[in-house]
């Protein structure tokens, strides 16, 4: 299974909105609504931010939202805050395996 495709980096100023894309294939993102997004700060474990395309776990701010169209999923962060600066990974379930994206480094300017 090939990794899902994410932009290497995105940036935005505090208060702005950014969107990170995650492109897969008809075998993974396009076939299953089991797309998740994870936030990882340096030296820390990943943290689940969005699951099943658009659901937020308890405690995750509603500034984080997810969506999917065809083979591409997206994570949108509105009202950017300094603490949002981190690496973000998408993942998709596919046929008894999970494939991750290569990761996107979000810089808050």
Partner 1 sequence: QVQLVESGGGVVQPGRSLRLSCAASGFTFGSFSMHWVRQAPGKGLEWVAFISYDGSNKYYTDSVKGRFTISRDNSKNTLYVQMNSLSADDTGVYYCARGASVYSKSDWGNFDYWGQGTLVTVSS
Q: C-beta of 96: minimal distance to partner 1 in Å?
A: 5
The residue written with tokens 């290569």 in the block is 102
SS (H, E, C) 75-108: EEECCCCHHHCEEEEEEEECCCCEEEECCEEEEE
d(CA 106, CA 6): 12
Closest CB to partner 1 among 12 and 89?
A: 89
Q: Where on the chain is the footprint of partner 1 (CB under 8 A)?
A: 3, 34, 36, 38, 44-48, 51-52, 57, 89, 91, 93, 96-103
Closest CB to partner 1 among 74 and 92?
A: 92
Q: C-beta of 16: minimal distance to partner 1 in Å?
A: 25
Q: C-beta of 102: minimal distance to partner 1 in Å?
A: 5
Closest CB to partner 1 among 13 and 59?
A: 59
Q: Would you call 24 helix, strand, or coil by DSSP?
A: coil
d(CA 42, CA 7): 18
């Amino acid at each position: 299974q090939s990794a899902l495709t994410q932009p290497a980096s995105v940036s935005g100023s505090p208060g702005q909105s950014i969107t990170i894309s995650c492109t897969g294939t008809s075998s993974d993102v396009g076939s299953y609504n089991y797309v998740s997004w994870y936030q990882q700060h340096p030296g820390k474990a990943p943290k689940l931010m969005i699951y099943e395309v658009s659901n937020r776990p308890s405690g995750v701010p509603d500034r984080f939202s997810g969506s999917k169209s065809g083979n591409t999923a997206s994570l949108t962060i509105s009202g950017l805050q300094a603490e949002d600066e981190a690496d973000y990974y998408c993942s998709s379930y596919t046929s008894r395996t999970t494939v991750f994206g290569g990761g996107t480094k979000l810089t808050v300017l």
